[in-house]
């Protein structure tokens, strides 16, 4: 089994304001672009067998600004389709359903967490077979589910893995057991 470096895309207006950003192609804000550029030096010591990104611009631009513009775009790495929760905050959703959570509530007109996990499971299987370290640029909830599935856990465990924009996480193995080696590591300021 190989190591997998996960990078959440840089900040967008919607990530900054807590809006659920699934399939809406919201661009990076300038601070998100600056952070993406700083990812390059933080990843400079690695040699990757492959680099993949979500096709959404916020992830693909983060990859390009970090120096990985040739990353393969994989539609399975798109963020969770939130349906009617798209563009809304948790506070907005809880105005009509006080117990609403992206992790436990139905995504009306969107994907179930099981559907997200099914496409992530395909990616995880490919990552496990990679010839060397793989670099993945994607989205907060998607990467949290991917990490849970890497560990063999129910996708709902992703709720316990906070992931900030423009952070680096590392999945690997220890004596044959899938592990998280590093999680939500910030890049240094300029």
Active site (annotated) includes residue 86: no
Which one of 29, 61, 79, 111 is the catalytic residue? 79
Of 9, 20, 139, 141, which one is the catalytic site residue? 9
Rounded Cα distance, 128 and 132, in Å: 9
Which among 154, 145, 151, 143 has a CA at the least distance from the CA of 177? 151
Catalytic residue flag (residue 115): no
Handedness of CA 18, 19, 25, 26 (dihedral sign): negative
Which tokens is 9 given?
A: 């895309």
Positions marked catalytic: 9, 79
């Amino acid at each position: 089994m190989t190591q997998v470096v996960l990078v959440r895309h840089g900040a967008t207006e919607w990530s900054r304001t807590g809006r659920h950003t699934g399939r809406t192609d919201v661009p990076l804000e300038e601070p998100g672009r600056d952070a993406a550029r700083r990812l390059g030096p933080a990843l400079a010591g690695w040699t990757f067998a492959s680099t993949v990104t979500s096709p959404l611009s916020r992830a693909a631009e983060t990859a390009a600004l970090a120096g990985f513009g040739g990353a393969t775009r994989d539609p399975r790495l798109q963020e969770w389709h939130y349906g009617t929760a798209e563009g809304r905050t948790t506070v907005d959703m809880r105005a009509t359903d006080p117990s609403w959570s992206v992790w436990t509530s139905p995504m009306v007109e969107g994907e179930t967490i099981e559907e997200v996990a099914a496409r992530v499971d395909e990616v995880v299987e490919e990552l496990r077979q990679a010839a060397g370290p793989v670099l993945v640029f994607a989205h907060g909830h998607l990467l949290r589910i991917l990490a849970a599935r890497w560990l063999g856990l129910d996708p709902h465990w992703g709720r316990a893995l906070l992931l900030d924009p423009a952070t680096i996480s590392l999945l690997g193995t220890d004596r044959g057991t899938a592990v998280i080696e590093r999680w939500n590591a910030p890049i240094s300021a300029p």
